Amino acid sequence: MGARITIPDYRTCLVILLASLSVLACSVPSRIVDYVPPITSPTGGINAPQMQDKPYLVLVSLDGFRWDYPDRGLTPTLSRLAREGVRAERLLPVFPTLTFPNHYSLVTGLYPARHGIVANDFPLEDGGWYHIRDRAVVQNGSLYHGDPLWVSAERQGMVAASFFWVGTEADIAGVRPTHWRLFTKDIGGTARVDQVLEWLSEPPESRPHFVTLYFEDVDDYAHWYGPDSAEADDAIRRVDRYLARLLGGIKDLPHGDQVNVVVVSDHGQAPYHDRVETLVLDSLISLEGISAVDGGSYIFLHFDQADPARAQRISTQVNKAWKNGRAWAREAAPPGWRVGPRPRAPDVILVASTGHAVISSEAHRDKVNAGDHGWRPEDQDMHGILFAHGPAFKVGFRAGPARNVDVHALLVQVLELDAVPETDSDPDALRALLR
């Protein structure tokens, strides 16, 4: 019988996290010196001579930052970026609207079916599983396909650095950024910003030209309390202050006028309805021989053995009974989702209507939190942000909706790197943002 796989309950972590915040605020220094990973980069930490005059780029992710959060009047720094730089109306995520696949699509320009990170948790070809909290698996570079931007940069002789990003802990094709960190929430946002500024202060020979920076605050608090809560608003204000610190520090650098900053998010967030209608799947169908990945807003069913006929029967049976969501056999999923082959992609996909829920059994009812993502990528509540500022970008320019996968080509153009041959990223899609 297949294993029952569940997404960890955010609320169970809340008490521990909040209890530790005051300690962390006092104990975490602004300069991180306790852990320096080994260099496994082709550059060896030194820019090739032809790279030293290339532009600089800091790519910032605000996890779960919905496209309309900047319109709440809580983010003066993002408002400044929009005035002095460029903003897309919305950033359209890939399917599924989850953290790992969308972050990796941003830096590869590939849809998940091509880059391999098709969800946060999924089965592998060898019978094992990829779990985002399994350190050994997350660091296995053979599971990641495509050329993430730091790999392209390092191979071309440009030093790259990362204060967190999906894939940077793995030796993808034997390459990591020159500077990288094992992910932990124990390092606060201010310390992360200060480390990035320290990297950008290095001599030209070793100074990274491409840097990633990640903040999870908004996503966490919107899960726990809901995206319209006071707690989520506080997190929105906090990450905006991190951005202000970053931009202020860049401005103070002698070469600050050469640094570009791009701010994105992986997906949006929506609240569950007050009277959420929850489908309990095992009351409707047998899950014998099936591993169910519970996400609250979705379930992915992975069969122990391929059985297209059973997948079709299950989706038909579910759709007859379910009024607040829909099920698809993998082959019948919307073409725009670009769902790949098994075993990584599910045999059956169930996605609730936004604000509603689906669980595999009553034992997993706690997977429904105050807020969530994972609903259909077409839903505007799942859409993210794209802001950019710096010498490469126009001033006061606002574009229409942009695709997640097209950000990669934009970043390649800003860094003046050679384009990668395998990509779904359209080099013309966001060219209008550039001067």
What is d(CA 249, CA 260) in angstroms, rounded to the nearest whole number?
Answer: 13
Structural domains of the chain, with CATH: 49-270+378-433 (3.40.720.10), 279-368 (3.30.1360.180)
What would the pLDDT profile of 383-421 be if each residue is shown by its tens digit? 999 999 999 999 999 999 999 999 999 999 999 999 988
User: Are 229 and 218 contacting, i.e. CB atoms less than 8 angstroms apart?
Assistant: no
Q: What is the pLDDT of residue 7?
A: 43
Look up the pTM and report it. 0.91
What would the pLDDT profile of 338-365 be if each residue is shown by its tens digit? 999 999 999 999 999 999 999 999 988 8
- Token code pair at residue 377: 């990528």
What would the pLDDT profile of 50-81 be if each residue is shown by its tens digit? 999 999 999 999 999 999 999 999 999 999 99
Question: Of 267, 283, 278, whose CA–CA distance to 377 is shortest?
Answer: 267
What would the pLDDT profile of 251-306 be if each residue is shown by its tens digit? 999 999 999 999 999 999 999 998 888 999 999 999 999 999 999 999 999 999 99
User: Are 146 and 115 contacting, i.e. CB atoms less than 8 angstroms apart?
Assistant: yes
User: Are 385 and 69 contacting, i.e. CB atoms less than 8 angstroms apart?
Assistant: yes
- Token code pair at residue 95: 């399917």
Strands 298-303 and 290-294: antiparallel
Give Cα separations from 163 to 136, 178, 312, 330, 399 (angstroms).
Answer: 19, 11, 43, 36, 28
Question: No. of H helices and E strands in the chain?
Answer: 11, 20
- Token code pair at residue 290: 């099936």
Cβ-Cβ contacts under 8 Å for 226 (sequence gap 6 or more): 232, 271, 272, 370, 371
User: Are 121 and 293 contacting, i.e. CB atoms less than 8 angstroms apart?
Assistant: yes
Question: Of 308, 358, 355, 362, whose CA–CA distance to 333 is shortest?
Answer: 308
User: Are 63 and 266 contacting, i.e. CB atoms less than 8 angstroms apart?
Assistant: yes
- φ, ψ of residue 388 to 5 degrees: the values are -150, 150
What would the pLDDT profile of 144-160 be if each residue is shown by its tens digit? 999 999 999 999 999 99
Q: What is the pLDDT of residue 366?
A: 82
